[in-house]
């Protein structure tokens, strides 16, 4: 989960805690501050902006200024497959929240990590028969090297939103789904995360190929143009943590990663991953 800063917008600062805020305006502010991505699975939302209140499944009828720390943008899959309808204030600290905690970093003790793994994908037919397909998906997992307290928060968060699909059995490491649900594609976060990995892999390959060309030695701007295109591809795909993971593992170049995935609004007003909490990122090999 991309760690984000979510400061209260200036326009709300003079409001009282119980003052109601326009729902549409709140969603727009969150979009502008943190980007058009689900706060939890990181899929790009497109036009499907859904407001999530950390204490409940459905957004409140009226949003108050006091609600701001509890609000994030969420995709339909994460909201629909959330395993609990409500949390209490006391329970909030049991979970990993990207706008509060160091939810991901390029460091060995990051609480979450993203790994491409083979997995059996078993489809159960109406007549009791099964079809098994060997697949590869990118899973979000608890990092066993993270501090125990963060491991516990990460595990509860993965389970709360069923980030690896409600059909994934982590103990058996198998995706088991009925034919009906398979045809409906009720949850496509695994597929989207894996698509991001595939596109990141292709982008790394093209950067290496471009750098090897004699023309690139004579015209360094060609590589820079490719880097900008990679940023646009990542924006369109979403899953920032996957792009960060793959680029760091394959290239390990801080400057390239910073300029592609970590620019600020001051450096680039049109940057596609706004609100990233740079102070919660650390650099070491995962």
Give residue-wise pLDDT tens across range 81-127.
999 999 999 999 999 999 999 999 998 899 999 999 999 999 999 88
Q: Beta 174-178 vs 112-124: how paired, if at all?
A: parallel
Give the residue extent of every domain in the chain. 10-94, 112-184, 189-280
DSSP letters along 15-34, please? Answer: S-TT-EE-HHHHHHHHHHHH
CB 143 within 8 A of CB 154: yes
Q: What was the pLDDT predicted at 47?
A: 74
Record the tokens describing residue 170, joined without a space.
Answer: 């982590």
Helix (H) or strand (E) holding 141: strand 130-142
Query: Could you tell me how many helices (H) and strands (E) the chain has, helices first?
Result: 9, 8
Helix, strand, coil % over all residues of the chain, rounded to 5: 40, 20, 40
CB 111 within 8 A of CB 151: yes
- pTM for the complete prediction? 0.93
Q: What was the pLDDT predicted at 284?
A: 66
Between the CA of residue 94 and those of 97, 154, 156, what are the distances in Å?
10, 9, 7
CA distance 122 to 103: 31
Positions of the chain with pLDDT under 70: 186, 284-286
CA distance 232 to 254: 19
Domain 10-94: which topology?
3.40.1800
Using CB atoms within 10 Å of the CB of residue 264, give its burial: 0 to 12 exposed, 13 to 18 middle, 19+ buried: middle
């Amino acid at each position: 989960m991309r760690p984000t800063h979510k400061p209260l917008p200036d326009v709300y600062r003079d409001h009282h805690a119980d003052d109601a805020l326009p729902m549409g305006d709140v969603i727009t502010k969150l979009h502008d501050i943190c980007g058009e991505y689900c706060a939890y699975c990181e899929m790009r939302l497109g036009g499907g902006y859904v407001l999530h209140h950390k204490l409940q499944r459905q957004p409140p009828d009226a949003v108050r200024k006091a609600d701001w720390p509890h609000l994030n943008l969420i995709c339909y899959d994460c909201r629909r497959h959330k395993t609990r309808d409500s949390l209490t204030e006391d329970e909030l600290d049991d979970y990993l929240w990207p706008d509060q905690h160091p939810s991901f970093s390029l460091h060995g003790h990051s609480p979450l990590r993203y790994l491409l793994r083979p997995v059996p994908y078993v489809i159960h037919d109406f007549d009791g028969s099964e079809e098994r397909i060997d697949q590869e998906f990118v899973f979000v997992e608890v990092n066993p090297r993270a501090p125990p307290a963060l491991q516990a928060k990460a595990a509860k968060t993965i389970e709360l939103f069923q980030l690896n699909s409600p059909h994934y059995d982590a103990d058996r490491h198998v995706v088991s789904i009925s034919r009906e649900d398979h045809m409906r594609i009720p949850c496509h976060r695994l597929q989207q995360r894996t698509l991001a990995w595939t596109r990141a892999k292709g982008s790394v390959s093209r950067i290496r190929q471009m750098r090897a060309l004699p023309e690139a030695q004579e015209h360094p701007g060609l590589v820079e143009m490719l880097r900008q295109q990679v940023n646009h591809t990542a924006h369109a795909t979403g899953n920032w943590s996957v792009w960060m993971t793959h680029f760091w593992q394959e290239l390990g170049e801080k400057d390239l990663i910073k300029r592609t995935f970590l620019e600020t609004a001051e450096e680039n007003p049109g940057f596609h991953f706004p609100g990233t909490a740079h102070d919660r990122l650390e650099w070491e090999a995962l």
